[in-house]
Structure 1
Amino acid sequence: MQTSPKAGTVVVIGGALKADSAAVWQRIVDEAGGAGARIAVFPTAAYEPERISAQIVASLNRCGAVAQVIPIAPHLDGVDLQARLHDPALIAQVAASRAVFFSGGAQEYIVDTLQPGGQPTAMLDAVRAVFAAGGVIAGTSAGAAVMSQLMFRDAMDNVAVLKGLWRAGQEYDRGLGFVREGLLIDQHFLRRGRIGRMLPALHALGCRRGLGVDENAAVVIQGGRLEVIGGGGAMLVDLADAEHDAALPAFNLRGARLAYLDAGDVHDLDTGETTPAPHKAQALRIDPSAPGFVPRTGFDRYFLDFLAEGCLQAALAQLLEGAADEVRGLAYRHVLPTQDRQFDIGFEFRLWREPGLVGWREATAAGDRYTLLGVRLDVIPVRLALPLHTPLAAACGAG
């Protein structure tokens, strides 16, 4: 049974969603119909399904929902998964719901349980029927990853994916397909430096766009409309006019387009238009190409670990407000030749300005928050020396 990507609403949560993140929990309930909305909670991905499902149910019910657990998870003791996947009472419970919520954990548990071998179970058919009737499909972390038609399955090493470790059924797999074809979802995106795996994945899979949602943030997807909510942001990656040099013996890319969207920002995938949040009218609009632009800082940082936590955000802020038209950083993992034949291969990331790059900076009690549009990115494979450094020797004749 194929699902229509325009039927209902999808809410993808980047993970580590706090129980008091009322904007996200309330939005799910509101999209499902408001107070009294029935929501089916699947703890299928969770390693501790009883505890995790109880937390999700409590958060949704505080917002007025009537949430109930669908007890289907590999880590539930003494459960006959096959029997429950075809249990008429459980299927009817899902069918009567206005929303379905998938927990975090390991996304392979979701797809292996609900569509083993790529074939949908009766339970998955019931979930898809909720969506086709205009309902809500929401998920956090692993539950967000499965929303794509193709998904990251177990690709935890960003540098390894950059180096070409990319196998069907291992690093990637078929997802459940609740968002449109060609859009790849990723989670924990900025915190875990997952731009490093998103770019080679998009290229290898032939997908045009990637949506990377950060922790404690969510993106509400209705057809081609994306709206960021919550306490963090999301990165939209577009390879529509990016170039790849097949003659180079390692992954490379030139001209990928990035947009960093903050809470309240809306993007239309069909038109390519981004509408900043209404409150951004009170924020500082920054255009580095405008006459009279004054850099906020003259310090140009080179990021020695570009995929480390916080580095991509800092690099984007430097690109928007710094003196230089580009920002560079390195992605590399030091290993011995016996551990990796590509031990000396790294990747330089180059963010650069194009005409039309613009951003907004909003000062908050928690720090500056940004929206950036029109960022360009290159990934350049480089060769490093081993050892990377040698101790300094004392100068001759020093006394």
Structure 2
Amino acid sequence: MRLRFWLVAWLTLGVMVCVQAAELPRQGLVMALGGSVRFDNQAVWTRFIQEAGGKGARIAIFATAAGNPDRSAQRLKRTLEHYGAVPEIIPVAPRLKGVDWKSLRDDPRLAERVATMDAVFFTGGAQALIVDTLQPDGQPSLMLQAIRKVHQRGGVVAGTSAGAAVMSAWMFRDAPNTLAVLKGQLREGQEIDRGLGFVGQELFIDQHFLRRGRIGRLLPMMHAKGYRWGLGIEEDSAALIWGSQIEVVGARGALLVDLSRAERDERLGPFNLRGARLSFLDRGDRHDLATGVTTPSAPKLAEQRIDPNAPDFKPYFDQEPFYPDILGDNVIVRAMVHLVDGRERELRGLAFNGSELRGLPPPKPVRAARADAPKPEELGFEFRLYVLPETLGYYTGAMGGEDYTVMRVGLDVMPVRMQVPLYQPWPAQKALSRKGAAPVPERLKGAQAARRNAG
């Protein structure tokens, strides 16, 4: 009798939980696009429309960040209409001519209309314009409150490039020089600033990531603001983020950075980091931040698992590459792929300012350096990637290329002193130059003369 009572009780409780779960609204979704997303990228746009509710979904367009808001908004409007949505341009943009955008931003009727939308989309441009417009002096405007309502009731908040940068609680405001950030130029209100925080406090987002080598600026930012997770989204790709779940769609992928075990030695002076972990999430891959579990796409699960620690591991790559520009276009992911599917247990690369090492004048330092610190033109960084016991990879050729997922590669970043100049002309070339066959470029003559005069 007692057993029957508890059985009925458990069944009743289970039914109540299921009913309550069914009545709860869907958790709001953030869709961060890495920038330069082609309008014919069906994987990204159809997924956005699907998550917003399918054909007929009402989408508010904010070209707030754009240099030419009307043109950017109209282009996006035509794209969304092509994929079946019903977009509406919200004219809240400082660079939109002939419009009182501040009055529109604070108009309760317009804010109420935005709050009823299925999704909101921020175009690219300058992310500073988004936060300064919608969050003046750090306070949410009436329009930003309306956008948050869309997200809170289960809608989609999306953005590309600058529109993706504002999704985390902190963002890069104006930091085009990745190496300058790596060398210490990381000032609040200038290189970095408060974002809108749609993905919470634990995840940092950056965009145009692999093409522009932004791993060099992501790591100092994450360490400075105490982030465990960083997600660098590549161009023509997007990451869907809801709760702790991440899914990548589009043409390429995203780099996931985990600093939970990373350490910095402040005694060294310049930025340094040991024990970071990198994963490359390709299109179709998922990751759960709460559990740390990565689930590769179905084609990869069906084709090839790569375990560089397995006794029967047979590496595909047999060379020992070195990467003189680790911040180059997609170089960090190429290095990760060679590591997980190659014979070497560690690979190294460098980050430095090549123009300085060719004799051009160095930039002015951001702040006074210590007496024993290297000169700005001498400071470089060594990136050491290495296999961990938990390192894994997956591969497939089923999607038309050589597509890899790489999970949990170790990374150390250490400052190094570069030789100045890093290289010199071959002696025979110098002789030819003296005879007039190979004249010295005009831009280098002044720097060379200065070195001679300095002894």
- Give the TM-score, by structure 2 length: 0.83
Check conservation: 1:285, 1:358, Cα contact below 8 A. Answer: yes
Task: Give the partner amino acid of 1:167.
Answer: R
2:349 to 313, 329, 335: 329
In the TM superposition, structure 1's runs of 4+ consecutive aligned residues that sit over 6 Å from their partners are none
Unaligned 5+ segments in structure 2 are: 1-25, 366-374, 429-455
- Per the alignment, residue 239 of structure 2 pairs with 219
**In structure 2, C-alpha distance between the alignment counterparts of 1:141 and 1:393, rounded to whole Å:** 47
Kindly tell me: are residues 371 and 338 of structure 1, through their superposed partners in 2, closer, same or farther at Cα, counting changes over 3 Å?
Answer: closer
Write 1 or 2 for the structure with the bigger share of helix: 2
Task: Give the partner amino acid of 2:270.
Answer: A
Write 1 or 2 for the structure with the bigger share of strand: 1
- How far is 1:282 from its partner? 2.8
Task: Give the partner amino acid of 1:242.
Answer: A
- How far is 1:391 from its partner? 2.9
- How far is 1:365 from its partner? 6.7
- Write out aligned runs for 1:306-345 (5 A): 306-334=326-354, 335=356, 336-337=361-362, 339-340=364-365, 341-345=375-379
Kindly tell me: are residues 337 and 64 of structure 1, through their superposed partners in 2, closer, same or farther at Cα, counting changes over 3 Å?
Answer: closer
SS at match of 1:367: coil
- How far is 1:68 from its partner? 0.7
**In structure 2, C-alpha distance between the alignment counterparts of 1:338 and 1:95, rounded to whole Å:** 47
- Write out aligned runs for 1:50-61 (5 A): 50-61=70-81
Check conservation: 1:191, 1:308, Cα contact below 8 A. Answer: yes
Kindly tell me: are residues 364 and 154 of structure 1, through their superposed partners in 2, closer, same or farther at Cα, counting changes over 3 Å?
Answer: farther
**In structure 2, C-alpha distance between the alignment counterparts of 1:378 and 1:317, rounded to whole Å:** 17
Task: Give the partner amino acid of 2:187.
Answer: R
Task: Give the partner amino acid of 1:313.
Answer: V
Task: Give the partner amino acid of 1:211.
Answer: L
Mapped pair 1:132 → 2:134: no
Task: Give the partner amino acid of 2:401.
Answer: G
Kindly tell me: are residues 224 and 82 of structure 1, through their superposed partners in 2, closer, same or farther at Cα, counting changes over 3 Å?
Answer: same
Pick which of 275-284 and 262-271 moved more: 275-284
SS at match of 2:80: helix
Task: Give the partner amino acid of 1:355.
Answer: P
Mapped pair 1:41 → 2:75: no
- Per the alignment, residue 376 of structure 1 pairs with 410
Pick which of 334-343 and 308-317 moved more: 334-343
SS at match of 1:373: strand
SS at match of 1:343: helix
**In structure 2, C-alpha distance between the alignment counterparts of 1:21 and 1:363, rounded to whole Å:** 20
- Per the alignment, residue 157 of structure 1 pairs with 177
Pick which of 61-70 and 192-201 moved more: 61-70
**In structure 1, C-alpha distance between the alignment counterparts of 2:121 and 2:326, rounded to whole Å:** 33
Task: Give the partner amino acid of 2:388.
Answer: E
- Write out aligned runs for 1:198-347 (5 A): 198-334=218-354, 335=356, 336-337=361-362, 339-340=364-365, 341-347=375-381
- Per the alignment, residue 194 of structure 1 pairs with 214
1:18-59 per-residue CA deviation (whole Å, 9 max, x = no partner) reads 101112111121112112111101000111211211121122
1:113 to 114, 126, 133: 133
- Per the alignment, residue 385 of structure 1 pairs with 419
- Per the alignment, residue 3 of structure 1 pairs with none
- How far is 1:339 from its partner? 4.1
SS at match of 1:354: coil
Task: Give the partner amino acid of 1:38.
Answer: R
RMSD, aligned CA: 1.5
- Per the alignment, residue 168 of structure 2 pairs with 148
**In structure 2, C-alpha distance between the alignment counterparts of 1:198 and 1:97, rounded to whole Å:** 33
- Per the alignment, residue 371 of structure 2 pairs with none
**In structure 2, C-alpha distance between the alignment counterparts of 1:10 and 1:107, rounded to whole Å:** 17
1:101 to 114, 121, 129: 121
Check conservation: 2:301, 2:394, Cα contact below 8 A. Answer: no
**In structure 2, C-alpha distance between the alignment counterparts of 1:78 and 1:319, rounded to whole Å:** 55
Task: Give the partner amino acid of 1:314.
Answer: R
- Per the alignment, residue 353 of structure 1 pairs with 387
Check conservation: 1:26, 1:60, Cα contact below 8 A. Answer: no
**In structure 1, C-alpha distance between the alignment counterparts of 2:58 and 2:265, rounded to whole Å:** 51
- Per the alignment, residue 397 of structure 1 pairs with none
**In structure 2, C-alpha distance between the alignment counterparts of 1:105 and 1:10, rounded to whole Å:** 19
- How far is 1:297 from its partner? 2.4
- How far is 1:7 from its partner? 4.3
- How far is 1:75 from its partner? 1.5
Pick which of 290-299 and 385-394 moved more: 385-394
Q: How many residues align?
A: 389
**In structure 2, C-alpha distance between the alignment counterparts of 1:185 and 1:257, rounded to whole Å:** 16
Check conservation: 1:165, 1:171, Cα contact below 8 A. Answer: yes
**In structure 2, C-alpha distance between the alignment counterparts of 1:233 and 1:338, rounded to whole Å:** 34
Task: Give the partner amino acid of 1:386.
Answer: V
State the structure with more CA Rg: 2
- How far is 1:65 from its partner? 1.3
